[in-house]
Structure 1
């Protein structure tokens, strides 16, 4: 496996990442550092590091996506880990991350991103029709399918990445190239997962000023919303954690039923977890099935279209609603468009 690290400045963070890889990655690996024309001594300090990484110096700052594309083209492994330089890996991080890629159960796998105290700072996200990102729920084990997860640390097959065209370089320095590539994967009926057994420390920050970051981010957000609205238009703007845009059907689960939620998501059902039945009033009668053990009258009033069932009768309710769960994602609408990323905005 090749670890492609994209760096721009902050050699102290890069050295901390390389130290952590040395300490916590006993598996066979190659490190390839892409220096995005750093204005300091990042390249020189990386060349002296004990991990002895292979180095590529870009002629200009290509942005994160462009730097990753450059590194993957130069990699020698079938499986590549794309990494930002502001990470630190933890013990046992690599094997669980590789598993979904090696078994072809996903095309993109990311770890849980945590802070230095072990608190989760990102666990993947769902995307709504307005193009906004809404954090997914955290699970303690297994892999969770998501619409999007930050590309700060991604495991991918090099052949798949190149076949999809890599990161779209037209996004430049303004983020959202990872949102775009996740959408490409999902539109091609492929799976993006967060692997809960793999944890990586992510010091969330930027290599340029916050004012510039906001301007470029807003520009690229608008581009992403325009490009992929056709796919997400069935997912309204109200954020419901981990409710996916590409699914076989929609289920609202009222109360604490983690096993039901996990099973449905593993079979590409979009799930919204509600605290009580009154929250159905914000769902715009969009659920195929509502799972509840109480408040039946309220549910019937607020979700008249939905089949209502307890956890034990869920399969029959799905059948009555015409929902067919499957580990294979559904064929998206406008499939001929889905495989194409137009360069015209």
Structure 2
């Protein structure tokens, strides 16, 4: 099985210097690419000098996560793509568990490893943990992370399992599935585009998995800090886009409910003195309104299969019932 590891980079010279050596050391038999989103730092000069064996794919402008990968992957022909953030440290054998799982079924389209925190290595990482899910109104959560509560890895999720979405921090996908689904939606720019792609793959009849025997460590916020209002804008807008495009049920009641909950989130930002984040949610809704015609057009083209969600509302379970772990959540819902 031919494998390509593709690292998207934008002004990440320091991150490449820190984390690329682990990828080179532990990615035996894989071809390694860096897809550069028109960096203005010395990333390309650094790569050419220090790692001449790396294949560089140059995008002419910063196309974001979605567009950057879509453009670069036009030129990559290996059977399996592993999309890797430039702030991820991989471990020995990290590809083995992923590839072994792909070999069990042609219906497995995408896989993520266990993703843990570089800053707190005993804990899972916010961006994906041990596999992602969403509730019935589109809020994402993970085995190992519910909202901002992150669990320690005590082996409680050391099983391969079908999930709803795989994290873009380390996202392995079959080339033919990526192209059949027409890649990421470039209107997202960044954030939650992997959830949208996974949902579309599920609607095409494929499954998404977590390979628990594969493990990587993620720094997080390498390109866009978690405290950035732009990140808030992208997450809120793109979540609404994903619901409108992919939900099997009539999306209008769900969208209206989400808008109410988004309003409460905006008020919370005001009370916390985070006015820029409040305005980011407002801008996210304005941007979403402008994209409704496009999302509805895409919705018509998507065959929406039966969707199963573990719970109806992660907000209710987390903030009202005070359930903070995936296993407790699953047991409560039995």
Report the TM-score when normalising by structure 1: 0.65
Q: Is the aligned partner of 1:192 residue 2:208?
A: yes
Distance 1:273 1:58 in 2: 43
Match of 2:158 in 1: 141
Alignment of 1:104-183 (within 5 A): 104=106, 106-116=108-118, 117-121=121-125, 122-136=129-143, 139-172=156-189, 174-183=190-199
Q: Cα gap change, 1:230/1:246 in structure 2, threshold over 3 Å: closer, same or farther? A: closer
1:68-100 CA-to-partner distances (Å, cap 9, x unmatched) read: 222221113111111111111011101111122
1:219-251 CA-to-partner distances (Å, cap 9, x unmatched) read: 212211222232598x999xxxxxxx834999x
**Residue 111 of structure 1: CA displacement?**
0.6
SS across alignment from 1:274: helix
Q: Which has the higher contact order (CA 8 A, sep 6+)?
A: 2
1:114-150 CA-to-partner distances (Å, cap 9, x unmatched) read: 1122422212222122211022257443311111121
How many aligned positions are there? 249
SS across alignment from 2:56: strand
- Contact 1:136/1:146 (<8 A) preserved: no
- Contact 2:87/2:222 (<8 A) preserved: no
Match of 1:86 in 2: 87
1:162-209 CA-to-partner distances (Å, cap 9, x unmatched) read: 11101111111x411111001011112211011111011111115246
Greater Rg over alpha carbons, structure? 1
Distance 2:40 2:50 in 1: 19
Q: Is the aligned partner of 1:221 residue 2:239?
A: yes
Match of 1:274 in 2: 331
**Residue 113 of structure 1: CA displacement?**
0.6
**Residue 22 of structure 1: CA displacement?**
2.2
SS across alignment from 1:68: helix
Name the Cα RMSD after superposition: 2.9
Report the TM-score when normalising by structure 2: 0.67
Task: Flag as ranges the 4+ runs of structure 1 deviating above 4 A.
Answer: 137-140, 247-250
Consecutive unaligned residues in structure 2, runs of 5 or more? 145-152, 259-305, 312-327
Match of 2:276 in 1: none
Q: Is the aligned partner of 1:28 residue 2:29?
A: yes
Distance 1:67 1:249 in 2: 33
Q: Cα gap change, 1:220/1:206 in structure 2, threshold over 3 Å: closer, same or farther? A: farther
Distance 2:130 2:177 in 1: 23
SS across alignment from 2:209: strand
Distance 1:110 1:232 in 2: 30
1:288-345 CA-to-partner distances (Å, cap 9, x unmatched) read: xx5xxxxxxxxxxxxxxxxxxxxxxxxxxxxxxxxxxxxxxxxxxxxxxxxxxxxxxx
